[in-house]
Amino acid sequence: MAMNDAAQILIAAIPLVAVVVLGFLGFFYFLWDFRTIRFIVDKGGTPLPRRLDEKLLLIGIVSFFVGIALLFFFLLKGEIGDSLLGGLIPTMAGAGIIVHFIVVRRLHKE
């Protein structure tokens, strides 16, 4: 069963749109964070220390579950092949980030 040209274009555009949207959101997240810290310093306060470990864990969890959802989608679609990499890659990346968080947390406790 072959897809028509419009469907292939839409499927090819999804990763591009995802990268643009994530770049847009990332930019404004960092802008918001910068302005918040600058506002706190201008008012004479001390900004809270950054909790990069927790942000890293959040990224890992979101990536893991997005990958799981993509894996289920491609499995239910019925195609077992290269398309499963679309779900396997974010799943394994998310699992790797979560494992990294756990290892770093245990090393800092010791």
Three-state SS string over 12-29 comes to HHHHHHHHHHHHHHHHHH
pLDDT for 42 equals: 94
Domain count, the chain: 2
Tell me the pLDDT of the chain (110 aa) as tens digits. 566 777 777 777 777 888 888 889 889 988 998 999 999 999 999 888 877 777 888 888 988 998 888 888 888 877 677 777 778 888 898 899 899 888 988 888 77
Contact yes or no for 74/86 (Cβ under 8 A): yes
- Do 38 and 69 fall into the same domain? no
CB neighbourhood size of 63 (10 A): 20
- Do 34 and 78 fall into the same domain? no
- Do 70 and 99 fall into the same domain? yes
- Do 55 and 108 fall into the same domain? yes
pLDDT for 1 equals: 59
CA 10, CA 20: separation in Å to the nearest integer? 15
Map residue 91 onto helix, strand or coil.
helix
DSSP H or E segment with residue 62: helix 52-77
- Do 70 and 38 fall into the same domain? no
Domain interval for residue 62: 51-110
Map residue 103 onto helix, strand or coil.
helix
- Do 67 and 108 fall into the same domain? yes
CB neighbourhood size of 38 (10 A): 11
